[in-house]
Every structure is written in structure tokens, then in C-alpha cells.
Structure 1
Amino acid sequence: MRRLLLTFLLLGSGLAHAGELPETDWLELMPKSDQKALEAMPEIDHDSPESDGTFTAKGGLKQSKGLPAVMYSSKTVASMNDKDIRIGGYPVPLESDAKGRSTLFFLVPYPGACIHVPPPPPNQLVLVRYPQGLKLDDIYTPLWVTGKLKVEKVSNDLADAAYALDAAKVRVVEEADL
């Protein structure tokens, strides 16, 4: 929770470049009831098989059993459907083109969501479709993604997401943004 709030603060301080949309905060994708439940949530135990670097279980970003219900929430905010947004986050690559550019990826609100920490709830995961692709050298590099957000349930072997975004623009967060 503390890491999530810190990331919101870091990304939330970004100033828009000329002509860019104002930033959409990740909490805007979560109904108020989920926001309250998340704030009241106890610390999460990070002792998992993945914490020692062993990745044998299928799922990656799928939620493990026993977490508070808000960590599984796919409740969405209807007013966000078909909205043009700019949101900051971290990529989890899914598909690449022939040149190695990521064309399909999950955007998550904090770095390391695909390693050994519990992943964000589905309403805090956005599937990004970006046909022109982006060369990703490091999944810990924060991105700004701009495009039309859709309330769309997405499920694959890696994760479940409650939103998808057809990206018009993807760019790396620059030091000048902070």
C-alpha cells in the first residue's frame, strides 16, 4: 500500500507537456467503495514462492488466494468508458512486433507488479494496445500512455484486467515531468 501511494505521488507530480491531456490518477479507475477498502487494508505478506526467485506457478499477475476482496475487484467506473486519458504507469510486455517493439502490454501503477509482490486488482490493470510499438529496454521505466480508455474485461494466463486502452501515444516519463 505504501509503495502504491508513493508511486501515485511520483507519477502524480508530473506536469503535462504542451498539448497533453491532464493526468488521470489510478484511483479514478476504482469505485469509491474499493478506494475505502484499499485504504483500510492491512499490510500484505510478501512471503510467496516467487520471493526467492522461483517462478513455477502459472499466473504471474493473477491474484493468489487469501487476499482481501478488494485485491480481486474488477468493479469499474462507468464514466471512464470511452474517455480520452493520459495515465502514468509501468509496462508488463505481452506481445512484440518483428522489430522487438512492444505492441501489447499491461500498464500497472507501480514497478515490480509482475515479480513477487501481489499484483494490483483487475481495476488497477490496463491492457494497452499500441500497434506502432514501443521499444522497452526496462520494465522499471515509467511511461505516459495517452488514448481512449474502455471498460473491457480482459483475462489471459498472466492477469485479469478491467480496462483496455487503445493508445494514441506512449512515451517514457522524463525527468522534466517530475
Structure 2
Amino acid sequence: MKHLVFNRRAALRIAAASAITFLMRDYPALAADTPRDLLWEDLLPEIDSPSQSSGMSTPLLDHSAPPPEQSITGKDVVHELAGTRIRIPGYIIPLDYNGEGVKELILVPYVGACIHVPPPPPNQLILVRIAQSYNPREMFEPVYVTGILGILEEETDLAEVGYSLEAEAITPYE
């Protein structure tokens, strides 16, 4: 009969395997090589309202104003997306351009957002940080940003932001 040897090294291997299994179950985006493609409306939380339950589509900005207990604000975010590796298109508003590139920017859903008053709501703005400077080809260049999405309540000089993104890559939109 063979004896099982249980030592510290075996315990660490079991703990590491368990942790990886747990993370991959709760954060499937970490296991995927390809990022999840998101659209800006994916960053808006869902609400239970009469128009949604009847099968009618709800516009991004619903001016019919549902009752207060069913309404959402621009500060409401989709917490389930935190930790997800995503790719999202948008336009960049540089926050720290130094002549060589930008390492911090706000990603916005449409041209001119944050330049005109008022800015989009926080759940439609993403504060992006990238390790390697990105040098935009032109102002208001459409791009894809890929990275890990986070929840962030921060006020910049331009606007209040609801999401953050640790960017792995910024590529031209094609």
C-alpha cells in the first residue's frame, strides 16, 4: 500500500489550483483570451419598468421618467462587469498629454463629449490608464480600448466618471 505524502508544497499546489478554479468560475472573462466586446448601453444598469416588461425597447435617455423607486441615475453602474476583460469603442479625451503621448484619458461614447457642457453621465464615461503612452493620430480619433474594467467614482477636471479601465491596448477603430 502506497502512502500519500502531504507536505507544505502539496498544500500550496492545492491552494493555488483551488484559487484559480474559483477565479475562473466567478470571473470567466479572466479565463478568456479574447475580451468581451461591450457597447455603451451595456454600461447602463437595467431597471424593471412597465415599458421593459411589455417588450418595448427603452431608449438610452427615457424622458418619460418612471416613478422614483424604479428610476436610475447617471451614477448607477453595472457592478457585475467589474473585473471583466473588455473591448469597447469610443473617443479619447486626453487628461495628461505631454507631447509624446497620453497615459491617462477619458473614453467617451461620442465625438465632443466632455468638451461641450454638460458632459455625459458618469456611467457613460471611463477613466482609462495605460502603462505605455498612446499617441493619438488626430483629435477625436475613434479607438478600441481593451483592458480590465473597474468601478470608479471619481471627479476629474472635466467630469464625474463611473468606470475605470486598466488598458492593455488602444487601437484605431476599424
**C-alpha distance after superposition, 1:115-138 (max 9, x if no partner):** 335321100000000120111132
Which 4+ stretches in 1 moved above 4 angstroms? 34-37
**C-alpha distance after superposition, 1:68-118 (max 9, x if no partner):** x96x61111111111100000000000135x52011000000011133353
| 2:111 is the alignment partner of 1:111 | yes
| 2:126 is the alignment partner of 1:140 | no
Q: What are the equivalent positions in structure 2 for 1:14-163 lying under 5 Å apart?
A: 20-33=34-47, 36=58, 38-41=60-63, 73-97=74-98, 100-116=100-116, 118-163=118-163
Instruction: Give the TM-score of the pair, scaled to structure 2.
Output: 0.65
112-121 vs 75-84, greater mean Cα deviation: 112-121
What residue identity is the alignment partner of 2:35?
A: L
| Unmatched 5+ stretches in structure 2 | 1-32, 49-56, 65-70
Counterpart Cα distance in 2 of 1:169 and 1:86: 9
Counterpart Cα distance in 2 of 1:122 and 1:89: 15
The match for 1:56 is: none
Counterpart Cα distance in 1 of 2:63 and 2:108: 19
Counterpart Cα distance in 1 of 2:131 and 2:97: 9
Counterpart Cα distance in 1 of 2:61 and 2:120: 14
Provide the identity percentage. Answer: 37
Query: Equivalent residue of 2:138, what SS?
Result: coil
- Post-superposition shift, 1:152? 1.2
Superposed CA RMSD in Å reads 2.5
- Post-superposition shift, 1:139? 2.9
| Unmatched 5+ stretches in structure 1 | 1-18, 43-68
Counterpart Cα distance in 2 of 1:109 and 1:101: 21
C-alpha distance 125-32 of structure 1, shift in aligned 2 (>3 A): same
Counterpart Cα distance in 2 of 1:78 and 1:22: 15
The match for 1:51 is: none
Query: Equivalent residue of 2:41, what SS?
Result: helix
Instruction: Give the TM-score of the pair, scaled to structure 1.
Output: 0.64
- Post-superposition shift, 1:22? 4.1
Query: Equivalent residue of 1:32, what SS?
Result: coil
Q: Is the 8 A contact 2:114 2:120 kept in 1?
A: no
**C-alpha distance after superposition, 1:35-90 (max 9, x if no partner):** 94744238xxxxxxxxxxxxxxxxxxxxxxxxxx96x6111111111110000000
Aligned residues: 128
Larger Rg: 2
Higher relative contact order (CA 8 A, sep 6+): 1
